[in-house]
Amino acid sequence: MQNMPTLARIAFWFSLAALTIASLVPVALLPPQAMNLWDKAQHALGFAWLAALGLASYPRSAPLLAGSLIAWGGAIELMQWGTGWRYGEWIDWLADGVGVAAAWLVWRAMPARWTGRT
C-alpha cells in the first residue's frame, strides 16, 4: 500500500495527458454535438476519473487540484475551438465541472483516514 500514492500519481498524469490528446486530435467528419447526452456523460466521467486520481494523489492540495482541473477543462475547450477541426463548447466545460464536483463529493464523504485529508 505504500506505493499507492506513486501509482495514483502516475495514473493521474498519464490519464491527464491521454484525455488532453484525445480531446484535440482530429476526428473525421465530426458532427456538431449540441447537447449530445452521451458526449456530456463522457466529459463528466473523464473528469471525475481525473479528479478521483488527483485527489488520491494530492489530497493536501484538493481545492487547488479541483480548480485546476476545471480550468484545464475550459482550456481544452478553447484549444478545440482554435483547431478548426474540433468544437469547443461551454456545455462540455460544464460537464467537466460536474465530473470534478461528483468526485469531490464522494472523496469528501469518505473517512479522512482513507483519503489522506488532514
Considering the domain boundaries, does residue 67 fall inside one? yes
Range of the domain at 61: 37-118
Which residue, among 99, 115, 101, has the nearest Cα to 48 in the 3D structure? 99
Considering the domain boundaries, does residue 107 fall inside one? yes
Considering the domain boundaries, does residue 99 fall inside one? yes
Considering the domain boundaries, does residue 23 fall inside one? no
Considering the domain boundaries, does residue 9 fall inside one? no
Considering the domain boundaries, does residue 16 fall inside one? no
For the chain, give the secondary structure using H, E and C.
CCCHHHHHHHHHHHHHHHHHHHHHCCCCCCCCCCCCHHHHHHHHHHHHHHHHHHHHHCHHHHHHHHHHHHHHHHHHHHHHHHHCCCCCCHHHHHHHHHHHHHHHHHHHHCCHHHHCCC
Please state the domain count of the chain.
Answer: 1
More confident residue, 113 or 80: 80
Query: Contact at 8 Å (CB) between 93 and 80?
Result: no
Considering the domain boundaries, does residue 1 fall inside one? no
Predicted TM-score (pTM) of the model is 0.84
Considering the domain boundaries, does residue 10 fall inside one? no
- For residue 81, the number of C-alpha atoms closer than 13 Å in the C-beta half-sphere is 11
Residues 54-103: tens digit of each pLDDT: 999 999 899 999 999 999 999 999 999 888 888 888 999 999 999 999 99
